[in-house]
């Protein structure tokens, strides 16, 4: 794997001042891609929601909705 410097070379880029600054009114150079962004993560791939937590959340939502419904019915009496 070879290293690629993501910073532009001031000797080859137009509009850069010494030190890499951009003078007022000048468009900065485009950002470069980073081929060494990191290894592909294979040990922890996303698998979506597990059945247990999803069932628990659904049960809580149903209980809260039933409580609101019971409260609304009690207010009408």
Along the chain (77 residues), what's the average pLDDT of each consecutive run of 10 residues?
64 66 67 63 73 93 97 91
Q: Where do the domains of the chain lie? A: 51-77
Answer for the pair 59, 53: CB distance below 8 angstroms, yes or no.
no
29 and 16 in contact (C-beta within 8 Å)? Answer: yes
User: Is the CB of residue 45 less than 8 Å from the CB of residue 39?
Assistant: no
Asked if 34 and 26 touch (Cβ cutoff 8 Å), the reply is: no
pLDDT value of position 67? 97
């Amino acid at each position: 794997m070879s290293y690629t410097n993501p910073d532009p070379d001031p000797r080859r880029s137009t509009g850069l001042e010494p030190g890499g600054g951009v003078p007022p009114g000048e468009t900065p150079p485009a950002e470069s891609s980073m081929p060494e962004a990191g290894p592909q993560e294979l040990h922890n791939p996303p698998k979506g929601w597990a059945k247990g937590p999803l069932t628990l959340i659904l049960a809580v939502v149903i209980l809260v909705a039933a409580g609101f419904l019971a409260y609304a019915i009690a207010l009408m009496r």
